[in-house]
Amino acid sequence: MREEVPAASSPPTDSESIQKLYAENVTAIYRFIYSKVGNREEAEDLTSQVFIKAVRNVDGTRDAQSVQSWLFQVARTTIADYWRDFYRLRTDSLDDLLTAGWEAAIHDEVAQPEEHIEQVQHILSRLPARYREVLTYRFLLNYSIRETADRMGLTEANVKVLQFRALKKAAGTGEETP
Amino acid sequence: MSTHDQTPNEPGDELTPEPNQLDGTGSVERYVRLHDYIEQLRAEKRPAQAGPLPAEDADAYRMAAFLHAAAPGASEPDPAFVANLQARILGQMHGNATPEALQPTPQPTPEPLREIQSAQVASSSSPPVALRPRTAKKSVVSRRSLLGTGLGAAAAIVGVAAGMQIEQHISPPPAPEGTLVPEGSGIWVAVASADTIPVGGVKRFATDYVVGFIRHTSEGFTALSGICTHQGCMLLWNSGDRTFDCPCHGGRFTEQGNSAPGSQFSYRPLPAIQTKVENGKVMVYVVPPQQTPNVEPTATDPTSDHSYNR
C-alpha cells in the first residue's frame, strides 16, 4: 500500500506562499521525521522529499492549519515508504503492522521537543527497572556499551541483549522479565 | 529460551545470548544487528539497510530511533540544510528540471537550465543566522557555466525515464577545465577559517549565488561547485565514502569532482572554484551580486527565453 499524495485541485501557489509554508513547517516536519528515523542524513533526505512533493501538489486554497495537516500526512506516507524499503517488508506485513497498532507505542506527530521528552519519560516509566536503566544509559545519557556495562555490572554482550529486550518491551512486543 | 524467563540471581546469567542458528536468524545475530544500528544512529550516520529481518524486530529499531531522537538538540535541523532545501524548492518552482516535468520536445539549441536561487545563508565560517527568504525576482546567475550544455540538452530532448537511460550511454564532451567564473568578473569571498579545516577535510560553503565544498588537500585548499551537473540538485558530502552524493537521482562524484565509478549515471565533472588563503581565511572566487549575464526571466513566466523546457 503506497498512499498517493493527493493532487492539487488548484495550481501551485506563488513563491512567497511556498516560502511561508516552508518556513512555518520545515522544523516541525524535520523533527517529526527525525523522531522516526533517528539520524540526520536520513531525516534530511526524507524532509527534502516531503517538501519537494509538497511544492508540486500543495493546494493554494487551503488554510495554514489544513496545509500543515496535509504536510504531516505526506511525511507519514514518505516515512512508511522508507520503512518498507529499509526493512524490506512485504506490503501486506506493513499493513498488518499498522493495523495492529504498530504506532501504538509512539504517538504520532510528536512535533515539539518537550512532547517528545514527555513521551520518552512515559514509555520508560512503564518499563521494569532493568530495562529502564539500560535505555536511560544508552539513549538518554548516551553511554557507550562499555560504559553501560561497567555501570550495570554486566558484560558488553549482556548489555547488547538487554538493550534489545528493553527496546522490544518499550515497543510493546517484548518479554515481561528483564 | 527458558533461562530468559527466570529472575536472575547473577547479573549476567539470563543474558547469555543464544548460539546462532544455522539460518542466521539466531538471537546473537539479532542483538548484534540492532546494536550496530544503534551505533550508527549515535554517529548520525544513515544506517545500512537492516533488512531482511523479522517484522517483529522493526519496532525495536523504531523505538531506538525514537529514543535517540529525544536527546537534547538531536532533532534540530541543520540551518545549512534548511537553507539549501529552500533554495532547491524555489528552483523547482521556477521550472528547474524535475524529472517528471521533462517533455519529449526537441531542442534545436542547447538552453541553460533555469536559474536557481539560493537563500541567504551564513557562510561556513560564521554562526548560523536566521533564514531570510528571498522574493522571486532577484537577479540570479545562469547555470550554463555550471552545467555546460551536453547533458542539459540531452535531458531536454527526451522524457525522464528514457532520458535517464540515454544519459547512461551519452559520452559528454570533455568538461572545460578551469574555474567557474572567468577571471575579472567575480569577487573574492571569505567562506571559512583555514585552521578549521584539517588536511583531508571537506567543508561546505554557501554564498549568495554559489554553493560548493572546500577541500584541504596535501597541496592546499581547493573548491568545487556543490551543484550536481545532472539537473542542479545540491550535493551532499558523504564523509564515509568520501564522495559527493546527489539526493535527487543517485549521482555520485569523487572528492576530486569526477563522476564516481559507483555512480548510477556518468555526469560531467564538478566545476572547480578558485580559492586562495588570505589572512587565515579561505576565500573563493564567485559571481558578485546583481550580475545577470542573461536576460532575467520572470518568476512566473515559464515561456521566457531561458526557461527550461517543461
CATH number, residue A154: 1.10.10.10
* Residue A117, pLDDT score: 83
Q: Nearest by CB to A38, from B58, B68, B136: name it.
A: B68
Residue A58, domain extent:
15-105
- Give the Cβ contact number of residue B103 at 10 Å: 11
CATH of the domain at A39: 1.10.1740
CB of A81 closer than 8 Å to CB of A68:
no
* Residue A119, pLDDT score: 86
Residue B165 has pLDDT above 50, yes or no: no
Cell 516535468 -> residue: B101
What span, in angstroms and rounded, lies between the C-alpha atoms of B198 and B217?
Answer: 9
A137 in the same domain as A154: yes
CB of B127 closer than 8 Å to CB of B212:
no
A121 in the same domain as A97: no
The structural domains of chain B, with segments of one domain joined by +, span 2-42+56-69, 79-286
Q: DSSP readout, B85-103?
A: HHHHHHHHHTT---GGG--
Q: Which residues contact A15 (CB under 8 A, 6 or more apart)?
A: B90, B93, B94, B135, B136, B299
Percentage of the residues of chain B whose pLDDT score is greater than 90:
12
Residue A102 has pLDDT above 70, yes or no: no
The count of domains in chain A is 2
A177 within some domain: no
Residue A173 main-chain phi, psi, to 5 deg:
-125, 10
Cell 527496546 -> residue: A167
Q: Nearest by CB to A177, from B5, B11, B68: name it.
A: B5
Are B50 and A43 an interchain contact pair (Cβ–Cβ within 8 Å)?
no
CB of B253 closer than 8 Å to CB of B234:
no
Are A161 and B135 an interchain contact pair (Cβ–Cβ within 8 Å)?
no
Are A36 and B66 an interchain contact pair (Cβ–Cβ within 8 Å)?
yes
Cell 539466531 -> residue: B26
Long-range contacts of B170-178 (CB under 8 A, 24+ apart): B170/B266, B171/B266, B172/B148, B172/B266, B172/B267, B172/B268, B173/B148, B175/B148, B175/B268, B175/B269, B175/B271, B176/B148, B177/B272, B178/B272
Are B16 and A157 an interchain contact pair (Cβ–Cβ within 8 Å)?
yes
A4 within some domain: no
Residue A155, SS3 per DSSP: coil
pLDDT in tens, B20-31: 433 344 678 888
Q: Which residue has the higher pLDDT, A26 or A94?
A: A26
A178 within some domain: no
A6 within some domain: no
Q: Which residues of B touch A91 (CB under 8 A)?
A: none
Q: How confident is the model at residue A97 (pLDDT cuts 50, 70, 90)?
A: low
Q: Which residues of B touch A98 (CB under 8 A)?
A: none
Probe site for chain A from B32, B39, B59, B237 (most A CB atoms < 10 A): B59
Q: Nearest by CB to A38, from B4, B64, B88: name it.
A: B64
Instruction: State which amino acid sits at residue A132.
Output: R
What span, in angstroms and rounded, lies between the C-alpha atoms of B217 and A87?
Answer: 39
Are A140 and B71 an interchain contact pair (Cβ–Cβ within 8 Å)?
yes
Q: Nearest by CB to B44, from A15, A31, A39: name it.
A: A39
Q: Nearest by CB to A41, from B5, B44, B59: name it.
A: B44
The CATH architecture to which B79-286 belongs is 3-layer Sandwich (2.102)
Question: Nearest-CA residue of chain A relative to B11?
Answer: A154
Probe site for chain B from A14, A32, A37 (most B CB atoms < 10 A): A37
A101 in the same domain as A61: yes
A87 in the same domain as A57: yes
DSSP state at residue B62: H
Q: What is the pTM of this model?
A: 0.49
pLDDT in tens, A113-166: 777 888 888 999 999 999 999 999 999 888 999 999 999 999 999 999 999 999
B49, three cell numbers: 539497510
> Given strand B275-278, what is the order of strands in its sheet?
B187-193, B281-286, B275-278
What span, in angstroms and rounded, lies between the C-alpha atoms of B206 and B120?
Answer: 9
ipTM of the complex: 0.81
A144 in the same domain as A76: no
What span, in angstroms and rounded, lies between the C-alpha atoms of A129 and A120?
Answer: 15
Residue B276 pairs in a beta bridge with B283
What value does the mean pLDDT take over residues B257-264? Answer: 79
Exposed e or buried b per residue across B180-201, where buried means at least 16 C-beta atoms within 10 angstroms of its C-beta: bbeeeebeebbbbbbeebeeee
Q: Which residues of B touch A135 (CB under 8 A)?
A: 67
Q: Which residue has the higher pLDDT, A25 or B163?
A: A25
A118 in the same domain as A97: no
Q: Which residue has the higher pLDDT, B222 or B123?
A: B222
A90, three cell numbers: 512485504
A2 within some domain: no
> Given strand B236-238, what is the order of strands in its sheet?
B236-238, B243-245, B252-254
Q: How confident is the model at residue B267 (pLDDT cuts 50, 70, 90)?
A: confident
Probe site for chain A from B20, B28, B67 (most A CB atoms < 10 A): B67
Q: Nearest by CB to B65, from A37, A94, A155: name it.
A: A37
A76 within some domain: yes
A10 within some domain: no
Are A40 and B78 an interchain contact pair (Cβ–Cβ within 8 Å)?
yes
Which among A87, A105, A123 is the end of a domain?
A105
Percentage of the residues of chain A whose pLDDT score is greater than 90:
40
Q: Which residues of A touch B135 (CB under 8 A)?
A: 15-16
A90 in the same domain as A133: no
CA distance B93 to chain A (A): 7
Q: Nearest by CB to A173, from B27, B59, B136: name it.
A: B59
Probe site for chain B from A16, A21, A35, A159 (most B CB atoms < 10 A): A35
Q: How confident is the model at residue B116 (pLDDT cuts 50, 70, 90)?
A: very low
